[in-house]
Structure 1
Amino acid sequence: MSGEESTLLARALIEFREAEGISERELARRTWLSEATIRTFERDRGDLPTPIVARSFEEVLGWAPGSIKTAPSEAMGREASADSAMDLE
């Protein structure tokens, strides 16, 4: 993800949360992702999301499917398994 793309995603996630008046925890609940994942992308570390993470963000933000560039498929196994094991409290 280019610096500009990751900055756009970070800004969009933060602006969405502020507009909705929700916490990172609530955004995590709505996207079925971990709070750590939300923090990673809001803090714009330049990471590429997995396709699953990207699709969750696209859905909550109302963006078209495929509008967020994703990580190569070989990285998917590690990241996807971490999010599927998140706590759903």
Structure 2
Amino acid sequence: MSEELERLAKALIEFREAEGISVTELAHRTQLSQATIRLHESDHERQPTSLVARCFEEVLGWAPGSIPTASRETTDLELPPDSSAGTG
């Protein structure tokens, strides 16, 4: 279990309790899904994507880059390496 990810889970729960808000409200504030909030509050092994980490850092008031992120992410906007987009 990663200490950093355990710290994140604890911080998210403590933040919600201190603010008196639900998972639904935290999801609204971060613009993330409730499932994402629940996942990172309970799973201390899964690193968030950089987008999720930025949302958590912002709401928690943590410095950018303070949450470890998944090493490789794929987005719908990425083109395959052999793509010939823009030619022709």
The TM-score bracket by the shorter chain reads: 0.7 to 0.9
Q: How many residues align?
A: 76
Equivalent AA in structure 1 for residue 15 of structure 2: F
- Give the structure with higher Rg (CA): 2
Partner of residue 67, structure 1: 66
1: distance between equivalents of 2:43 and 2:10?
A: 9
The runs of at least 4 aligned residues of structure 1 exceeding 2 Å deviation read: 75-78
Query: 1:18 Cα shift?
Result: 0.1
What is the root-mean-square deviation of aligned Cα atoms in Å? 1.4
Partner of residue 16, structure 1: 15
Normalised by the length of structure 2, the TM-score is 0.80
Normalised by the length of structure 1, the TM-score is 0.79
Q: Percent identity?
A: 63
Higher helix share: 1
Query: 1:16 Cα shift?
Result: 0.1
What are structure 2's unaligned runs of at least 5 residues?
A: 77-88
